[in-house]
Structure 1
Amino acid sequence: MIAKTVFAFALLYLSCFQIVTGVSEREVASMLLADYQKEGRPVRDPTQVVLTSLDVYVIQIVKLIPRRQVLVINFWLVQRWRDDFLTWDPAEYGNISTIRLGSENIWRPRLVNYNRQHEEGWSELPDTNAIVRSDGEVLWTYPITLRSTCVLDIARFPFDVQKCPLKFGSWTYDSLNLKLVNISTTGNIDYFAANGEWELLSFDLEVNEVEYSCCPGIPWDDMTYTITLQRRPKFFILYLVAPSVTFSLLTVWGFWLPPDSGERLSLCINLLLALIFLQQGVAAYLPDTATNIPLIDVFFVANILLVGASSILTILTLSIHFKCFDLPPVPNWLRCLFCLDQSDSSTYRVNAPQDNNDGAMDAFFATNGSNPAWRLVRRVKKIIRQLKEEQEMMTNCLKTESEWKILLGKIDRCLLIAFFIALVVITASILGPNK
């Protein structure tokens, strides 16, 4: 009899234990979602504000597309809010205090990135599960890849620092219905994977309340995360800055070559082509439109202009060297500007010396022209006179050519000094510390 009584109590105990522990999360979820409506705000009092927090974990900088000025970045987004219709008593449901529900089955704040650039296959919202606690607190986390606009400041490329704002907020709920609160004062960078091109300097947060022209008098909340990136310049120093500085130094030393040398012109043309090629390489890393011009472009343009000036000067020198008969005298203002000897100007007014007996000889030949000997003497005298005139003309031409060459040589040296100063100033501006 006693054994039967103990057995009955054991069956009763086991049945009670089964009733208590037999409740599953599926049953809790079914109970919660039985009459749940996800279209309306999750508050029983319509005047109540839904407090929502957003934490952003930056995981990886995928790329920064300079031509389109778009930042592609991987995030973990963590959203928290309270849902009055997702509550239960854990004591009645097997002490289950936390369950997982599909986020597509419940109300969500649907915070969006205001400056996102949508593209098929990017920035899709994943339907991950949300963690729901018995008091109605909902925690929804998910990874996402965003394409966000970022206006670039490339004035100091490749030593530039970029600041890209990421503005998050509700697209349909104002701050009277949904209030954004921040748990931390900055974005989270604990799980950030280093990028080979960009270094993450900071990830700041600012909570704003803005009124838009569509809805005057109604405030809207947004959270603006500002990610600050600094370009790693080693690659660009090796492949862009170092070759350009080398070509610039070659241009400087090219001014020491004689301008009338053909090698000078060949060197200038080759340097000009090389600088243009490097400038095109820089353009691939810059946006199509920019608010300012990068210093490295100024550097290339200055080099190209000075190499072009050297080429023009070389061509002019070669033209003077091979066509000296049509050269005009050096203008006086150039003489004063480059301190040429003023006494050289008298050489351009030299006339052939006149023989005082030419008149008497001509009268004699007119009366005795029939004598063959005198005719021969007269012809020889005329030839000698022409030779003297040609010799004097050649002498003046050589003097004019010499003066032009001296002038061009001084211009060449002035360009050398100007180019060297410009090269030092621009290089120091580019390689100097950030301001």
Structure 2
Amino acid sequence: MMRTLRTATLTLLIVRGFLPAPSFFPPAFCQSTRMSLQDALLTNYSTCGAGALPVADPSTAINLLFGVAIHQILELRGTEQTLVTRLWLRMSWHDDFLQWNPANHGGIETLALPVKKVWTPDIFLYNNVHGEAGGLKKVADVVLDSDGNATWLQPGIFRSACSMDISLFPFDEQTCELHFGSWVHPTSRIDITPGEIDTSEYQENEQFLLAKSEIHKEVRSYDGNATYAKVKVRLQLKRRCDYYKFNMIQPWVILMVLNIAAFYIPADCGERLGFTITILLSLVLFQEVVAQQLPHTSTTTPLLSRFFAMTTGLVSFTILATILVTRLSYCTLPSRLLSPRIRRALLDKVAPRLGMGVSKPRKKLCVSFSDPNNETFIKHDTLISRSNSVCEVTTDHLVKDIAKFCRGFTLYLKAKHDAEDELEECKMAALVLDRIFLIIVGTLSAAQCFYFLAMEPDNC
């Protein structure tokens, strides 16, 4: 009987707050103590404070400690220039009206209160691009200690604007910022102090590496009088380029090599023209794929797009060179694109320096014969007598006709021989020009490729 009385008296004293709750009390008893403490703290809490701030002195500003824990970079959308992140915001402040003596409340030193029943700072994401205004959704409770220090751990997925510089794509680095600050209260009411950035629980992104993260404070005046403080969380992201190496850069290099190899196909063969046009269409397709992954902006041009455009120009130059060489290979009347002087310069000066063995032209055909009209060839005139049925032809007249025929046939052979020599020279000059075009395209392609690969970072 006496033991029961002592237990009831001790329980009453602990519930009233005169004695701390020992550890051997059941959980239900401790929960009842926390509920009573919560009711005691929240009684008339909404009517307390100066200007809706939990401060006893209205002239005192709340010092808000703002920290961030980065958990994941979900996505950096290049076409929309937005950054999607999963963060845990850690905000700490002092509440003058939420304090208690642990000895009077069962030894409770910390208490979690519903976020909608206590004061929380009006923190907004200034550069929010989501459909909402950018305010924080109040989903986590506020943890208090007996001295009135409040801590609010607020998780969330944030979608912020990020201006991207894609001039070095796919070897680019992007710097994105998230701006957090109070929407209503100036620094005279809420002064924000940047805390630490925690990356211990960070999960790596498949497209970007988190190279650096920092947080700093910025104070600006928007209306000319009051100043507002905001915290900038700056994230430096480095793009992973392995995907672009194997899916875009490697095919691009292969197409460039094939474009050079196209010069080894005979120019007068139609296969070279079809082959180079196929390469051109492939480059246009790759360029379209790259354009779909980048922002639609005209301020900067990606590095990969510039090199695709240069390669497209080289392939187009190869097509034009093929058409020109094919046309020069058939140097026939009435249009001859190369004068004899240019042809001889290509054959005598340029071809030996390119290591091309030029066949010597054939000796000109020289045939000498006497003029059938000369009196030394025909000593006397021949008379042709015609009758109604018979035409008498003398021997001298027959010799004269044969001489005329031989002279005409000789001129024909000489003209044909000269035309064949000229056509051979034209074809050889076309081959020399084709070798010059090969050197030009090969040199430009190699320089372009080495310059592009030199832009690749060491740790890409």
Query: Alignment RMSD, CA only?
Result: 3.9
The 1-side partners of 2:41 and 2:201 are apart by 35
Residue equivalent to 1:344: none
Counterpart secondary structure, 2:71: strand
Pick aligned residue for 2:67 from 41, 55, 62: 55
2:155 corresponds to 1:147 = no
2:294 corresponds to 1:269 = no
AA aligned to 2:175 is K
In structure 2, relative to structure 1, the CA distance for the partners of 1:434 and 1:60 (3 Å cut) is closer
AA aligned to 2:210 is L
The 2-side partners of 1:99 and 1:330 are apart by 99
Correspondences of 1:218-233 after superposition (within 5 Å)? 218-233=226-241
Mean Cα deviation higher: 412-421 or 163-172: 412-421
Residue equivalent to 1:314: 322
AA aligned to 2:174 is Q
Counterpart secondary structure, 1:255: helix
AA aligned to 2:58 is P
In structure 2, relative to structure 1, the CA distance for the partners of 1:125 and 1:354 (3 Å cut) is farther
Which residues of structure 1 form unaligned runs of 5+?
A: 342-346
The 2-side partners of 1:172 and 1:72 are apart by 25
Residue equivalent to 2:127: 115
Correspondences of 1:29-428 after superposition (within 5 Å)? 29-37=38-46, 40-119=52-131, 125-184=137-196, 187-212=197-222, 215-289=223-297, 291-322=299-330, 324-325=332-333, 326-330=335-339, 339=349, 357=371, 380=405, 384=409, 387=412, 390-391=415-416, 394-395=419-420, 397-399=422-424, 401-402=426-427, 404-428=429-453
Quote the sequence identity (%).
Answer: 24
2:33 corresponds to 1:24 = yes
Instruction: Check whether the contact 1:162–1:228 (CA below 8 A) recurs between aligned residues.
Output: yes
Mean Cα deviation higher: 301-310 or 83-92: 83-92
Which residues of structure 2 form unaligned runs of 5+?
A: 22-28, 352-360
How far 1:269 sits from its partner (Å)?
1.7
How far 1:404 sits from its partner (Å)?
4.1
AA aligned to 1:224 is K
Instruction: Check whether the contact 1:327–1:397 (CA below 8 A) recurs between aligned residues.
Output: no
In structure 2, relative to structure 1, the CA distance for the partners of 1:103 and 1:67 (3 Å cut) is same
Instruction: Check whether the contact 2:343–2:426 (CA below 8 A) recurs between aligned residues.
Output: no
How far 1:180 sits from its partner (Å)?
0.9
In structure 2, relative to structure 1, the CA distance for the partners of 1:11 and 1:394 (3 Å cut) is closer
Q: Is the helix fraction higher in 1 or 2?
A: 1
How far 1:399 sits from its partner (Å)?
5.0
In structure 2, relative to structure 1, the CA distance for the partners of 1:172 and 1:355 (3 Å cut) is farther
In structure 2, relative to structure 1, the CA distance for the partners of 1:336 and 1:31 (3 Å cut) is farther
How far 1:309 sits from its partner (Å)?
0.9
The 2-side partners of 1:104 and 1:138 are apart by 14
In structure 2, relative to structure 1, the CA distance for the partners of 1:290 and 1:13 (3 Å cut) is same
How far 1:145 sits from its partner (Å)?
0.4
| TM-score between the two structures when normalised by the length of structure 2 | 0.78
How far 1:178 sits from its partner (Å)?
0.8
AA aligned to 1:191 is E
Instruction: Check whether the contact 1:126–1:143 (CA below 8 A) recurs between aligned residues.
Output: no
The 2-side partners of 1:403 and 1:83 are apart by 94
Mean Cα deviation higher: 15-24 or 220-229: 15-24
| TM-score between the two structures when normalised by the length of structure 1 | 0.82
Mean Cα deviation higher: 313-322 or 31-40: 31-40
Mean Cα deviation higher: 173-182 or 17-26: 17-26
How far 1:228 sits from its partner (Å)?
1.2
Counterpart secondary structure, 1:210: strand
